[in-house]
Amino acid sequence: MRAGNMKKGGKRRGVIALSAAALIALGVLAWFALRPAPLELPYLTARSVAVLDMGSGRYLYEKESDEPRPPASLTKLMTLLLVLDDVESGALDWEDTFTVMPEQAGTPGSKYGIRVGEVYTVRQLVAGVAMASGCDCVQCLVRLCAEDEDAFVARMNERAKELGLRGTHYVNATGIDAAEHYMTARDIAELARVLVDRHPELLDFTSQAELEVEGRTFRNLNRLAGRDPRVLGLKTGTTQIGGYNLVTCAEQDGRRCLIVLMDSSSDAARFSETETVLDAVYGRKS
């Protein structure tokens, strides 16, 4: 190769390298310009908070979001994920039925109110868990999906590892307070994101204040559902030790976010503080 050609080739490569560097720099600047701005929020009583912008995957606000706490019935998000995965895979069908036995009807915790001998479909049981937070409905689904609760909980913990939920460990499928049963607000947000992305049909239940499913009526414990048009669900959770918890999926103008509040000061506070966050993200509702 002649010296002149070598010089031309070197210049060409230099121009290409500079152009590539310029494009990367412009991309970085554009990302910083377009990424959601962090939220400025007033004091929230919730001890742990995580606000996730689902489009960008960026956390807009965090408060002790990596602190493990008793998640109460937010545990049931993982229960629902496994059940809906089984429906998707064909291992379970929406119309499969379960006949209630004494051990399900008498389970501790919040209840939908199933009775011994009654027959429920998977669709009804999912409504009972997603809307009424029925531990009794959870136990029916557990028996449809696994040999017993221990086997189901093993699946829950295995899935948590697969999802990278490092601040999560389950002891039961309902969220009843127990030693070594915990989640972080960040893990709850990540789990809720996976659940909504993989199984958007869950929002058909959680966005409703009340729903009739195959002749049975289910009322939502989430007081924002059906009242605030931005709210698509997801789940409440309350226990004596875990306190008042709420995870909310919301959307406005095509922008979705997830808001996790753990251990708010009262039942009313978890809803009012969620609306405070929603107003900060979207602006006050009209």
User: What is the residue-level pLDDT of the chain in tens, covering all 286 positions?
Assistant: 555 555 556 666 665 656 655 566 554 444 344 567 788 888 999 999 999 999 999 999 999 999 999 999 999 999 999 999 999 999 999 999 999 999 999 999 999 999 999 999 999 999 999 999 999 999 999 999 999 999 999 999 999 999 999 999 999 999 999 999 999 999 999 999 999 999 999 999 999 999 999 999 999 999 999 999 999 999 999 999 999 999 999 999 999 999 999 999 999 999 999 999 999 999 876 6
Per-residue buried b or exposed e for 242-261, using 16+ beta carbons within 10 Å of the residue's own CB: bbbbbbbbbbeeeebbbbbb
What pLDDT is stored for residue 160 in this prediction? 98
* Unique residue bearing structure tokens 């969620």: 274
- Which pTM value belongs to this model? 0.86
What pLDDT is stored for residue 3 in this prediction? 53
What pLDDT is stored for residue 21 in this prediction? 59
Q: Give, for 250, the enclosing helix (H) or strand (E).
A: strand 243-252
Tens of pLDDT, residue by residue over 13-46, are: 665 656 655 566 554 444 344 567 788 888 999 9
Closest CA to 176 of 246, 243, 107, 239: 239
Closest CA to 144 of 207, 210, 95, 183: 95
